[in-house]
A and B are shown apart, each in its own frame.
Chain A
Amino acid sequence: MDNLTRRRFLTMSGVTAAGALAVGATQVSWSDLMSAAVQNPLSSEDSVLVVVTLYGGNDGLNTVVPAADPAYQKARPDLAYEANEVLDLGEGLGFNPGLKGLKGFWDDKSLAIVRGVGYPEPDRSHFRSMAIWQTASPKTPVPTGWLGRWLDAAGADPLHAVSVEPTLPPLLAGATTAAASLPVRGLKLPAGKVGTAFAALGQPSSGEEHWQAQAAKSLQDLQNAVKVLGGAVHDQPEKEDDEDEQRTKGASAGGGSQLGAQLELVAGLVEAGVPTRAYSVSLGGFDTHADERGTQQRLLTELDGALTPFVQRLRKSDRGRQVIVVVYSEFGRRVSANGSDGTDHGTAGPLFVIGDKVQGGFYGEQPSLTDLSNGDLKATTDFRDVYATVLRDVLDADAGQILDGHKGSVDGLLKV
């Protein structure tokens, strides 16, 4: 029944120190965006980043499956996929059977799998680990997200980010700038006297208290958002969520639903030439502590069913061909199954990068199933290497400045 309530991020409730928006240091710069849309629409040369966050900790080993590895079969007797069940990717690995569309992109070399992605001293809290991924700061909590800092650094340039969710994930919160949020069903305001009066509430009022000023600013931003984006949004009827037990079994760690609708909206915005360079969408439900196989396969099928038409649609336009999709989760899960046919919180996992500009194939080493750290996979690729690569090659940014001097990258990942 629901689609909008689940999409938000936990640090904002103040449960961890990294509450990017709890401090309220953010402003939605819609006026910049509006003038940019008129004067400088998205060039068909500009690359666009779409970040897909899988909330709950997706089980990497049952996503990119080392089915032929006896250690894998031994660790999860009731949970393992047989080699003949998975979609062969080579090197002893195969996709979960739910990922048929993505297998097609793998075959035509537009999908890259970065293996063993994680960070040093992994944290098994959903909230802390998601904060680490979204802020790109594994050691100390910081109040800004990595794309938020990119927004800050982009300065006067017409570079902007949009979250297709009712609230903003911290990854899009900068120190001075925050991305705008847009609901799947679009923005519509009444006309006439009510519309005029409502618009006037967005005027700043001198000496106003911080939060009231923020509230006024959000109404001002809304007016501009409607002008810029309102036309690009389809007013589609809300689809009923298929909320059965299997689908919701791993739902306690947040994230969105209706990924397909979120991505449809993004595709429409890209095609319309809205000058947005980064989008954030999400899918929740991956916290599969119990009866994992059915639940995860179903979610991966949902992911596949949303991403496949999205990527195919984007291939049909010049602007669309500039889009690069990154799919990640806050951690993988333990190598061994628990006693409930599920897995508990683990560490490193695979990350996908998809698009026409992607050099398909494997990157990073597959973590060993025998050389473990406390029963967990050892990360072989630092997640910031991926961020640095997309900041440099997709967003044309100085990655070191945004990632606190981080040096690594994933070479050859993107065609530049």
Chain B
Amino acid sequence: MGEISERSAVRRLCDRLGFGPAPGELDAGFEATLARRLSTAADAATTPPPVLTPPQPTKAPRKGAKQKGADENGADQDKTAADRAAKKAANKARAAQEAKLIGWWLDRMVASDRATERLTWFWHGHFATSNQKVRSAPLMLAQNQTFRTHARGSFTDLAQALVVDAAMIRWLDGNDNREGSPNENLAREFLELFTLGIGHYSEVDVFEGARALTGWTVRRTSAKAVFVPARHDSGDKTILGKSGEFGAKEFVDLALAKPESAEFVIGRLWFRLVSSTPPSAETVRRLVAAYGSKRDIGAVLKAMVAEAAFRDSASALVKQPVEWAVGLMRALGIQPAKLDDKTRVMLLAALRGMGQLPLRPPSVGGWPSGASWLTTSAGVTRLRLAQLLARKAELGQLQKSSARVDGVRVLLGVDAWSSRTKDALAGLTDPAQLTAVAACAPEYVVSG
């Protein structure tokens, strides 16, 4: 496979360290674009997070012996109508808060030209936590801000923050992990999915790791986890070949100290930001060197885009639905926050229909990739959303143009149309229709 052009490389940089080019962005050079994406100066194009009221304390669910009383008539039988109405109202309020938070985040993704936002999105998929079970927008926001704070910083800091993150603890049953009755869910996924990868730890490490994580607890009224010494198992543990009175911090340190961890984390970044083809051994060596003892994510990003593979035409990636939709809104100058309520609801419904709603990863393993997004059903929803967004866009420049097909190519920041796509678009004169169909072209659905 060949090397892509300089302009295509700039476009790829915008796609991979961001959510695609905004109008005019491709006129800058590669180094200037990289410097802007990796700038550490304050990002002007951001709005403060929404104010989310803390979750209302509700009665703890009945458990244990009481739950055993649930007979064949169902456990809900004794609930009064008032209980049910209150529950329904609480669910509605929770859903509204979640939608508000997703709207805010999408807005940031559209507005920002920093890699930070893209990496925040990446870490959300890596440490995949779903509000389906967390059931608290404030906790999801706190986790989201943690991703943002450490997005391009040290993976050590990020992993240390996540192991005691309140949303994560709720998601993976950390509240049920206490001395004398370890719950393995968090310890297992931390090793398998977040830091080491399968095959680099044993069942004993999972069990002992769970013991190390005991004591970290999320109370219903707080957005932060607290360490409760009475719940902590302070005894000796043996984790990954080392013994001691380990706690959460040591558990993370031990996992990250394994040489396989650096390659695992780098491999995950590569898979989402560069190519589904794994990096060569030489490349891995260079990226591990950049990662270094500080576990510097920003340095890995710089090293990645300097690799020859970054400019290889074969390093194409299917855009994830959120990346596609945010990129389209960037190109069309649409700010999600300024959309009317009805349209915003339709936007979120369409993302869900394509299989990717932020804050709702399908499982702790994160979202799928590649061909998984190119399904028959996603194709229908993609077109519907493209039509919706195109109707909201100011497309005057395509109104009278005699070169509409090329105009929409420039608007979307596509390198080139194939003759297939040129022919397909040639019959469309309405700018919104033209833009909607163009956004569904393989040249735009895939980041070439």
Q: Which residues of A contact B (CB under 8 A)?
A: 1-16, 21-24, 26, 28, 30, 55, 78, 85, 97, 100, 124-128, 166-168, 178, 180-183, 187-190, 193-194, 196-198, 200-201, 203-205, 208-219, 221-222, 225, 243-246, 248-249, 251-255, 284, 287, 289-291, 293-294, 297, 301, 338-342, 344-345
Contacts and interface: CB of A to CB of B under 8 A. Distances in A.
Contacts of B67: 291, 293-294, 341
A293 B373 CA distance: 36
A340 B183 CA distance: 7
A251 to B, nearest CB: 5
B61 A225 contact: no
B195 to A, nearest CB: 12
Interface in B177-208: 177-178, 180-185, 188-189, 192-193, 197-198, 203, 206
A217 B173 CA distance: 42
A6 B135 contact: no
Contacts of A214: 318, 371, 374
A209 B316 contact: yes
10 contacts: A10-B365, A15-B192, A187-B376, A198-B383, A251-B130, A254-B362, A284-B363, A340-B181, A342-B173, A345-B184
B198 A16 contact: yes
Contacts of A23: 276, 370
B380 interface: yes
B70 A197 contact: no
Interface of B: 61, 63-65, 67-68, 70-72, 74-75, 87, 91, 95, 125, 130, 132-133, 135, 171-173, 175-178, 180-185, 188-189, 192-193, 197-198, 203, 206, 268, 271, 276, 313-314, 316-318, 352-357, 360-381, 383, 387, 418-421, 423-425, 427-428, 430, 433, 436-437, 440-443, 445-446, 448
Contact of A22 (B72, B370, B420): B370
Given A189-B383, A341-B63, A5 B356 contact: yes
A10 B72 contact: no
Nearest to A204: B420
A291 to B, nearest CB: 5
A178 B171 CA distance: 33
Nearest to A245: B61
A167 B198 contact: no
A215 to B, nearest CB: 4
A127 B365 contact: yes
Contact of A253 (B314, B364, B372, B433): B364
A173 to B, nearest CB: 8
A339 B178 CA distance: 8
A271 B51 CA distance: 51
Contact of A12 (B361, B372, B436): B372
State the 4 A-B residue pairs at the shortest beta-carbon distance, nearest first.
A339-B181, A254-B363, A340-B176, A10-B365
A197 B125 CA distance: 34
B357 to A, nearest CB: 5
Contacts of A21: 368, 370-372
Given A168-B371, A212-B316, 7 more contacts: A168-B372, A182-B376, A189-B380, A193-B430, A201-B441, A216-B442, A341-B64
Contacts of B276: 14, 22-24
Interface of A is mostly: loop
B428 A194 contact: yes
Contacts of B420: 200-201, 203-205, 216
B427 to A, nearest CB: 6
A349 B34 CA distance: 53
Contacts of A248: 132-133, 135
A200 B376 contact: no
Contact of B423 (A10, A200, A209): A200
A125 B316 CA distance: 30
A5 B175 CA distance: 26
B383 A166 contact: no
Contacts of B433: 193-194, 197
A263 B271 CA distance: 35
A166 B354 CA distance: 7
B65 A167 contact: no
Contacts of B356: 5
A131 B437 CA distance: 37
A180 B376 contact: yes
A260 B383 CA distance: 27
A289 B372 contact: no
Given A6-B362, A15-B193, A211-B317, A128 B198 contact: yes
B372 A167 contact: yes
A209 B312 CA distance: 11
Contacts of A196: 427
Given A6-B132, A205-B418, A222-B380, A15 B366 contact: yes
Contacts of B173: 289-290, 340, 342
A208 B1 CA distance: 12
Given A22-B276, A200-B424, A290-B183, A212 B443 contact: yes
A26 B379 CA distance: 17
A219 B352 CA distance: 19
Nearest to A251: B133
B375 A249 contact: no
| A11, A189, A290 pick with most chain B CB within 10 angstroms | A290
A3 to B, nearest CB: 8
B446 A15 contact: no
Nearest to B271: A14
Contact of A182 (B182, B377, B381, B425): B377
A16 B365 CA distance: 10
Contacts of B448: 209, 212
Contacts of B75: 294
A242 B173 CA distance: 21
Contact of A215 (B68, B206, B271, B374): B374
A167 B368 contact: yes
B355 A8 contact: yes
Contacts of A166: 353-355, 375, 377-378
A211 B316 contact: yes
A33 B25 CA distance: 45
A291 B175 CA distance: 12
Nearest to B67: A294
Given A21-B372, A212-B316, A254-B362, A78 B68 contact: yes
| B135, B271, B367, B379 pick with most chain A CB within 10 angstroms | B379
A209 B379 contact: no
Contact of A342 (B183, B271, B316): B183
Contacts of B440: 198, 201, 219
